[in-house]
């Protein structure tokens, strides 16, 4: 599934670049590109943590409320970070 997702992402990126008539994503929005770049140092580790928590939740038998709660915390942190405008 991971390979399919990466292939789909590559196709989608090509489509966006063609529509925007650009060579690079966010080329026409440098402020947005910089904002994403700065936030990625925080977002990427949280995404990795989410993937691990999902894996553990799906493989756990019975009640796994601690895992569910941890996953919800990571989602809340990401949502808050995305909603906070850059200063």
pLDDT digit string, tens, across residues 15-47? 999 998 999 888 889 998 898 888 888 888 988
What local confidence, expressed as pLDDT, does residue 85 receive? Answer: 62
pLDDT digit string, tens, across residues 47-68? 899 999 989 988 888 787 898 8
Least confident of 2-6, 18-22, 55-59, 77-81: 77-81
| Confidence bin at 82 (pLDDT 50/70/90) | confident
What local confidence, expressed as pLDDT, does residue 48 receive? Answer: 92
Instruction: State the Cα–Cα distance between residues 70 and 39, nearest whole angstrom.
Output: 21
The structural domain count of the chain equals: 1
Residue 6 near residue 14, CB atoms below 8 Å: no
Quote the domain boundaries for residue 56.
2-83
């Amino acid at each position: 599934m991971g390979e399919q997702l990466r292939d789909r992402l590559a196709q989608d990126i090509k489509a966006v670049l063609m529509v925007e008539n650009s060579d690079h994503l966010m080329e026409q929005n440098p402020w947005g590109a910089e904002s994403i770049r700065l936030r990625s140092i925080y977002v990427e580790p949280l995404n990795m943590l989410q993937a691990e928590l999902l894996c553990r939740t799906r493989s756990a038998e019975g009640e796994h409320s601690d895992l569910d709660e941890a996953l919800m915390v990571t989602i809340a942190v990401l949502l808050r970070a995305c909603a906070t405008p850059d200063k």
